[in-house]
Chain A
Amino acid sequence: MYQGLAFRTAFLLTGSSTDAEDAAQVGFVKAWRALPRFRSGAPFRPWLLRIVANEAHNRRRASGRRATLELRATAAHPPDDAAPSPEDAALARERRGELLAALDRLDERDRDVLVCRYFLELTEEETSEALGVRRGTVKSRTARALERLRADVEVRA
């Protein structure tokens, strides 16, 4: 149930499928061993993601780099959307590529909070648990990261 989410989280944080696989695997093992200490009634998903995110950070630091994320070769469209013209599709893809590049230029902590909030679609509370920071920090860091991202995109536009 959580395997896909754990792997996706680790991949988005490291940009490497090898590191993501290692991080998710070790994360599951540690979570299993730590289950007796898991607070009954607490949400399991962010707790697990925190363990996996820690593993992912560790691997990213160990390798001294983070591989950049890439767009899928073919963009998906909601079934009820009309397919855009080739020109519009190319333009949209270019914009998404620029946004992704700007995201990769953010520092680690800004990038991580945006990955959790918008790529993994975690709530502020879940992000707080996953990244091991206070909820207020998630809120302020998200706002700051969005501002920096917006400024970067505008400067390069």
Chain B
Amino acid sequence: MNELEQALRHLGQELDVPESPDLVRAVRDVLEPRGGRARRRRRWALGVAVAALALLGATLAIPEARSAFLRVLTVGGERIELVDELPGIEVAGDLESTLGERLTLNDAREASDFPLRTLDEAPDRVYLGERGTVWLLYGTPANVRLLVAQTPLLTVDEPALRKKVVDGGGTRVESARVNGADGLLLTGDSHFLFLVDRRGNAVEASARLARDVLIWDAGGVAYRLEGDLDRARALELAGELR
């Protein structure tokens, strides 16, 4: 260890770090609320069922399904909820404000700890958003041709994005095999999309209506393609993303 490294090690011992507060009670309150044990068991059961369904990758004609288990799906870092009506909160008019900080493609590559994939065509704009999500925008914010998102996944994370889709409405949800991985394709009517912070709370400013979307995850990264896409075009673009 050289002199600078030793100085840093010594510096670490000289820092003014407050005593840790007692976290045990706060953590226990979250984990063991009144009646929590039974509720948690139900939540686990639901979670396991959802995961199993997502992994099966069977054809999911979701609008026809009425099972409570099929009202929530999680794939590619996104949680999709089928609801009776969309939430009433205001939808952001400014797309850019929901995407994050604008930067160059090279800076995005540098900032990402995963190999960023691109299409043959260079994106017109690039953004770095919450959870290290890199957004590639083709077109302009006012006239988006295609939006590609890549989010590094951590298995213990809450899904980074949440969608609400009207059950039985004009949005079709179907499974898709994307480069050998299980994915979901949402087409038809717009659906309600918002970001979720790490506590699982909705970031209201991020809410917007999303168009056709293909989502999947591979190699610890969640991918999503958004635009006016039919199944064939979405899968073709997914194949080009490398």
Residues of A with Cβ closer than 8 Å to B?
3-4, 6-8, 11-12, 17, 20-21, 24-26, 28-34, 37, 50-51, 54-55, 58, 61-62, 69-73, 75-76, 95-96, 99-100, 103, 114, 117-121, 131-134, 137, 146, 149-150
Contacts and interface: CB of A to CB of B under 8 A. Distances in A.
Contacts of B31: 29, 32
Interface string B20-35: 1111101100110000
Given A69-B16, A118-B12, 9 more contacts: A3-B22, A7-B20, A20-B18, A21-B23, A24-B23, A119-B8, A131-B113, A137-B113, A150-B4
A133 to B, nearest CB: 5
B181 interface: no
Contacts of A61: 130
Interface residues on B, range: 20 to 34
A9 to B, nearest CB: 10
B106 to A, nearest CB: 15
Contacts of A114: 8
A60 B185 CA distance: 34
Interface string B177-215: 000000000000000000001110000000000000000
Contacts of B59: none
B14 interface: yes
Interface of B: 4-5, 7-18, 20-24, 26-27, 30-31, 113, 130-131, 152, 154-157, 197-199
A26 B21 contact: no
A21 B156 contact: no
A62 B197 contact: yes
Contacts of B14: 71-72, 75-76, 96
Contact of B15 (A6, A21, A25, A71): A71
Contacts of B4: 146, 149-150
